[in-house]
Amino acid sequence: MKRMMMLFSFLAQFFSGKGQEGLYDRYPEYKGDDLGLVYSDTSCRFRIWAPYAERAQLLLYEAGMGGDPFATYEMKQSVSGTWLSVIAGNFSGKFYTFRTMNTGKWSAAVADPYVKLTGINGKRGMIADLSLTNPPGWSEDKSPPFQHKTDAIIYELHVRDASISASSGIRAKGKFIGLTELNTRNTAGHSTGLSHLKELGVTHVHLLPVFDYNSVDETKPDLKYNWGYDPLNYNVPEGSYATNAYDGITRIREFKELVNKFHRHGLRVVMDVVYNHTALTDSSYFNQLVPGYYYRQNKEGKFSNASACGNETASERAMFRKFMLESMRFWVKEYHIDGFRVDLMGIHDIETMNLITKELHKIKPDILIYGEGWTAGASPLPDSLRAIKANVSKLDRIAVFSDDIRDGIKGSVFDHKDRGFASGKPGMEQSIRFGVVAACKHPQVDYAKVNYSKKPYAKEPWQTISYCECHDNHVLWDKLRISAPDATLEERTNMHKLALSIVLTSQGISFIHAGTEFLRTKKGVENSFESADSINAIDWDLKTQHYDVFEYVKGLIQLRKAHPAFRLTLAKSIARYLHFDETTGEGLVAYTLDGKKTGDSWKRINVYFNGTGQSRIISPGKGIWKVAIQNNQWMQDIPLNGSITMKPYSCTIVYMK
């Protein structure tokens, strides 16, 4: 009765115009860490949070889909808005759902948001001991060493794309364990998959969503393709990447095998997480159990939509904040994940992101967290509170993607014909300088002339992700074809190499998209989120076809790893020891790094980017110089005699020992 009184008082408040925010803020917060199933061989304890439900039930099934429940339990009201059910016996291998009654109506029977094991298509929770999911050697699993955040060279990869093409030579095509196969080869015998990643030398592999997403039918995983930005179960791996999606244990064990194998071969694993919205809105598991609470509403009381996917979650509300924190903590502890890329992070509030990063750094001090500092639509939460790019200085140990350098290099992603510095657009020098200094404060950047940001938003270089291509929008090679249609194949290849030269020598954290190192194409498709494998699959034979590009990019990665001057840890060092040449004129960006002062084995390093279609002559000045790169080619450290003629669209790097 007391509950009903409370409900009426809240409803009265709502209809009197105080709004839902106040209503939801007064929902009781549950502080325990046992939401969902606590399993033992002799009993199961289930707890869900549904503070204003009138009733709650637990339903048990024999299978992950089909059939009626073999048992239904009325759950008991417990503390802080939770409902509890404890059942004695060994229920391993059975499945479960919950439903709640709200204003006299039963919700759908759903897996709860905290579910960790599910059956096929993530519709029902599976009861089992999580320790059964550990592959051999898991207790000794250790992440490879990683010191400074600016040491990270991230490689963004989709699990299915990596192996689904015949040219991958990988047996378990489209599966987590496909990425555990070693010494796989393309048609010509060049390495693919995991061996390729090792050969390339990246430090972190960022996997596009590997949590359980909604769009692909796991009973027929080859019928449909999706990137996976449509979350269903946040704490469960995606079933279509498992060799058996019916058994909840297999997908977990196989994903852990991937993590373990990557770790053993020197690669850290970053997960792409999408807490900003759920695939389903009204019918999502969150919304079925607690209507409205987990989502922001607009003035009309409808779901607001800053994600452009039908809803946006409300990280500022206690129980969604708690969910995000516990979910990410779970992936780190249970799956040994080394970092997160936070999708549309600009939807989340700063306080939540800072709480999460603080807690995750406690568990894993060298964790890497970065996100998209923007939204895909307007949000009711004020900009000043949100984790957007302009607020990155208020974020604790979190980086944001630099769209300034991305579009400075290749042109706007929204204007397909637009070119950037690397494809010959004049006037982009300051945007490139801004990228070179990782969006930090530098006396030689004219911020008024930077394409987007008119001030240095990063306080320190590790707050910036330098990139020119990711899964979104055209891949670089396609963008160049569309925006520079008159360029010859050779010119366009040079533009591509110049673009990646800028990314991999800039300060901040480096990020490249899978396959860009051998001119991956998506055949001009801009948004391939549900395109067929014929568009999305990585064609590993391109590696052989463009082996010079691959070797060049591999060399850039080696250069970056060997020379700390390219990955300075402090903004004040960048301002002091990186000096731009002011005499270069239009279309050329040149700078010197003081290697001596930055602890580098090279005393001076001169970097030159020629973004024009003309040759340019450069002379680094007095002293004994050697050439590392000349015109997008590795030069075996040959001595420099006088000056260098730079070809169109090229990078040259010389150094003094």
Token pair of 209 as six digits:
């969503």
Those residues with Cβ within 8 angstroms of residue 74's Cβ, 6 or more apart along the chain or in another chain:
55, 56, 57, 85
Give 219 or 298: the residue with its C-beta nearer to Ca ion: 219
CA atoms of 440 and 434, how far apart (whole Å): 7
Angle CA 627–633–639, to nearest 5: 20
CA atoms of 331 and 312, how far apart (whole Å): 22
446 is known as an active-site residue? no
- Alpha carbons within 13 angstroms on the beta-carbon side of residue 634 total 13
Give 280 or 345: the residue with its C-beta nearer to Ca ion: 280
Smallest distance, Ca ion to C-beta of residue 366, A: 31
372 is known as an active-site residue? yes
150 burial level (CB within 10 Å; 0-12, 13-18, 19+): buried
Smallest distance, Ca ion to C-beta of residue 138, A: 23
Annotated catalytic residue within 372, 404, 429, 478: 372
Smallest distance, Ca ion to C-beta of residue 537, A: 20
Beta-strand ranges (E) seen in 274-428 are 339-342, 368-371, 399-401
Token pair of 431 as six digits:
């945007």
Residue 340 DSSP class: E
Give 335 or 511: the residue with its C-beta nearer to Ca ion: 335
Those residues with Cβ within 8 angstroms of residue 587's Cβ, 6 or more apart along the chain or in another chain:
421, 424, 426, 429, 610, 611, 612, 614, 616
Smallest distance, Ca ion to C-beta of residue 361, A: 30
Give 212 or 407: the residue with its C-beta nearer to Ca ion: 212
Residues in the chain: 657
- Contact call for residues 570 and 563 (beta carbons, < 8 A): no
Question: Which residue's Cβ has the minimum distance to Ca ion?
Answer: 212
Give 124 or 204: the residue with its C-beta nearer to Ca ion: 124
Smallest distance, Ca ion to C-beta of residue 236, A: 8
Beta-strand ranges (E) seen in 390-508 are 399-401, 464-466
Does the CA dihedral 207-210-213-216 come out positive or negative?
A: positive
Token pair of 74 as six digits:
């009325």
- Contact call for residues 107 and 120 (beta carbons, < 8 A): no
Give 85 or 118: the residue with its C-beta nearer to Ca ion: 118
Give 80 or 283: the residue with its C-beta nearer to Ca ion: 283
Q: Which among 88, 90, 107, 91 is positioned nearest to 99, based on CA atoms?
A: 107
Smallest distance, Ca ion to C-beta of residue 228, A: 8
Residues that bind Ca ion (CB under 5 A): 212, 239
Annotated catalytic residue within 254, 343, 429, 541: 343
Smallest distance, Ca ion to C-beta of residue 124, A: 13
Smallest distance, Ca ion to C-beta of residue 342, A: 20
Give 232 or 360: the residue with its C-beta nearer to Ca ion: 232
Give 212 or 469: the residue with its C-beta nearer to Ca ion: 212
- Contact call for residues 603 and 446 (beta carbons, < 8 A): no
Smallest distance, Ca ion to C-beta of residue 306, A: 24
Buried b (16+ CB within 10 A) or exposed e, 151-180: bbbbbbbbbbbbbbbebbbbebbbbbbbbb
Three-state DSSP string of 258-269: HHHHHHHCCCEE
For the annotated catalytic residues, the residue numbers are 343, 372
